[in-house]
Structure 1
């Protein structure tokens, strides 16, 4: 990512509505996965470490990050073991295998997205799971994607095909950030059609607006645990190697 994006994230991801709301959704999703009590968890591409505390609630955390800017920021949080690494060919921690691997808004940065998934599957325990989030809809491409050095945004069909071709079976698959989708999509389309300069999505808003957006976004956690949402700014999947028993949903 652009160094400016890491600096922006480090300053905002503990407070900004998008990060806080997403963590609450992910916490609900992970709580529904049958992990052992002392689960071994890897976050592949942890950025500046904003998810580490949430993940540590479910077990012992390892994390990897390739950015020399983000890596010390993640380590400074003092949570888990954070090492330099890169997908798909430089995954650290020796032969350590994991019960859960979190790949949160990382695939879209990688040229070799399928190879990255295949490499991570090799680091899962036989009963392990992957939790994956990516930005949705190529037609929503914006300056935010450029700043973050995204290679692509995914359609649901593209992500499903990618996961299956990598050798994964899918237990949960849904859009999310759905409640705010009409507003966000409308703004981005208006900016494109009117050729307006786009403002960065991660500017900090006033406290009450930030709180309101957090609550609207995070409310989706209760819906996702029951059924798949049909549209949204992002996609979320829980998947595992083909031989892992189904979650039953």
Structure 2
């Protein structure tokens, strides 16, 4: 990620410490895994289409948890982050990684099948440049999966502490991706059930930390809530996070 709002070394270390067990990271990786399976199933029998495991980039990879999911699903993935610490953490796990800025990706144009930007764009001052770079590196028909914090009504000291520049409405995220030349195929809210609690806690206390080491029972309870949400018709409702699935036009969508 770019230096504006980049995750610092201490925060990166905290992410690595908690992401294998923390409820939020567990479910975000599960969403990514489901999206990869969905895309692969839709592209079955059509070599070269987005969704068939090919080349992927994880932009703002931090500790590399999402890059590992890509690798586990057969993708040839590279992690990119502007933090040398993040790059070193990825390399130490056997992840192909390099230093780079979301607004100036060190990648050729039009060669990737998939780009991830999960909780990255909100840290970037020039998010239009970052979205355009994501579109640039995708081949025609290539897919992008984006996650951003939802709704400025939830803005609090927590966002400031994490170095965020903004939160997004559905319209704002759609416009951003479309202006970059991408076609938005799906847009949905996540952590809808927990939104009222999150809003209450973050507005009440500037020290609310989602990444803190939680009591195992609380961590499991929060994870169960997010699992339950998978089966409820809530994706059109506002949540804490907003996901978008998009593609570069020029070939059939997977």
What is the TM-score with the length of structure 2 in the denominator? Answer: 0.86
Moved over 6 A (4+): none
1:49 aligns with 2:64: yes
1:239 aligns with 2:254: no
1:19-38 maps to which residues of 2 (within 5 A)? 19-33=25-39, 34=43, 35-38=50-53
Residue in structure 2 matched with residue 178 of structure 1 by the alignment: 192
1:6 aligns with 2:21: no
Length, aligned pairs only: 238
- Using the TM superposition, name which of 131-140 and 209-218 deviates more: 209-218
Q: How has the CA–CA distance of structure 1 residues 67 and 119 changed in structure 2, closer, same or farther, with 3 Å as cutoff? A: same
1:205 aligns with 2:214: yes
Residue in structure 2 matched with residue 153 of structure 1 by the alignment: 167
1:80-229 maps to which residues of 2 (within 5 A)? 81-89=96-104, 91-94=105-108, 97-189=111-203, 191=204, 196-222=205-231, 228-229=235-236
State the Cα deviation string for residues 38-57 of structure 1 (Å, max 9, x = none).
42111011011111221113
Contact kept? 1:5, 1:147, Cα under 8 Å: no
Residue in structure 2 matched with residue 17 of structure 1 by the alignment: 23
Q: Which runs of 5+ in 2 are unaligned?
A: 1-6, 44-49
1:222 and 1:23 mapped to 2: Cα distance? Answer: 17
1:243 and 1:219 mapped to 2: Cα distance? Answer: 37
1:68 aligns with 2:56: no
Q: Which runs of 5+ in 1 are unaligned?
A: none
What is the TM-score with the length of structure 1 in the denominator? Answer: 0.88
Q: Cα RMSD (Å) of the superposition? A: 2.0
| SS of structure 1 residue aligned to 2:167 | coil
1:135 and 1:240 mapped to 2: Cα distance? Answer: 21
Following superposition, the deviation at residue 228 of structure 1 comes to 3.1
Contact kept? 1:24, 1:218, Cα under 8 Å: no
